[in-house]
């Protein structure tokens, strides 16, 4: 898999392969100097790119997750039918509006824009915090695809300014974040080894 260690999309893909116990080699790329072969097999130039064979690649992180779960017959465990619609809807909000606001929060040099983006991000994060009133994880008492898919982005959001986030007082999501952060699976996929 062509990957980039700190990319949240690549993290969710690596997490799903780890959960499915699928062995894979990680080829860590530089986003500024992408390998020719990667661009040849996936011209859109984003990571992760999972190479299954000569003419078979998967270059969307959610498709990699779904492929990994289906390979091992653990789709029902991580994306149960009765939670499919709500899982995909949360992931979609994460990948569209939340990601856009997260980028403005992270990269804006204008303080007013930054604060505005932070508040917009909080709308989604508060929604997640509310879900955690009912379960240990977002939609269940054990982590599902939705937790693994969203966590890397919430991690980025909190890490921009941990104190600013803590001052808001969203305790449940902060506990969830710490639980996901210290999980074996996250520690494993962040290890600096080439082979997983």
Ligand X SMILES: N[C@@H](CCC(=O)N[C@@H](CS)C(=O)NCC(=O)O)C(=O)O
Q: Is 51 in the site for ligand X (CB under 6 A)?
A: no
Residue range at the interface with ligand X (CB under 6 A); choices 59-67, 84-92, 129-137, 138-146: 59-67
CB of 167 to ligand X, least distance (A): 28
Q: Is 7 in the site for ligand X (CB under 6 A)?
A: yes
Give alpha helix (H) positions in 26-170: 36-41, 61-71, 75-78, 81-93, 99-107, 111-131, 145-160, 162-168
| Single residue of 22, 27, 41, 46 touching ligand X by CB under 6 A | 46
Nearest Cα to Cα of residue 26 among 191, 185, 186, 181: 191
Q: Is 4 in the site for ligand X (CB under 6 A)?
A: yes
Angle value at C-alpha 88, between 174 and 131, nearest 5 degrees: 35
Residue-by-residue DSSP string for 86-111: HHHHHHHHIIIIIHHHHHHHHH--SH
CB of 31 to ligand X, least distance (A): 4
Q: Is 60 in the site for ligand X (CB under 6 A)?
A: yes
Q: Is 78 in the site for ligand X (CB under 6 A)?
A: no
Q: Is 19 in the site for ligand X (CB under 6 A)?
A: no
Q: Is 47 in the site for ligand X (CB under 6 A)?
A: yes
Residue number, 14 or 128, with CB nearest to ligand X: 14
CB 76 within 8 A of CB 144: no
The residue behind tokens 């952060």 is: 181
Helices (H) and strands (E) in the chain, counts: 11, 4
CB of 134 to ligand X, least distance (A): 28
CB of 140 to ligand X, least distance (A): 23
Positions touching ligand X (CB under 6 A) are 4, 7-9, 31, 45-48, 60-62
């Amino acid at each position: 898999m062509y990957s980039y260690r700190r990319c949240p999309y690549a993290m969710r893909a690596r997490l799903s392969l780890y959960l499915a116990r699928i062995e894979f080699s990680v080829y860590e790329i530089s986003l500024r100097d992408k390998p020719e072969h990667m661009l040849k097999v996936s011209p859109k130039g984003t990571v992760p790119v999972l190479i299954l064979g000569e003419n078979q690649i998967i270059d969307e992180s959610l498709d990699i997750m779904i492929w990994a779960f289906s390979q091992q017959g653990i789709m029902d465990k991580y994306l149960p039918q009765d939670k499919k619609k709500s899982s995909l809807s949360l992931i979609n909000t994460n990948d569209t509006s939340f990601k856009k606001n997260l980028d403005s929060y992270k990269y804006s040099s204008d303080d007013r824009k930054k604060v505005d983006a932070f508040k917009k991000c909080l709308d989604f994060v508060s929604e997640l915090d509310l879900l955690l009133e009912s379960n240990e994880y977002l939609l269940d008492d054990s982590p599902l695809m939705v937790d693994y898919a969203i966590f890397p982005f919430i991690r980025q959001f909190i890490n921009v300014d941990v104190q600013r986030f803590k001052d808001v007082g969203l305790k449940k999501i902060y506990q969830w974040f710490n639980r996901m952060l210290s999980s074996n699976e996250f520690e494993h996929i962040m290890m600096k080894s080439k082979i997983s």
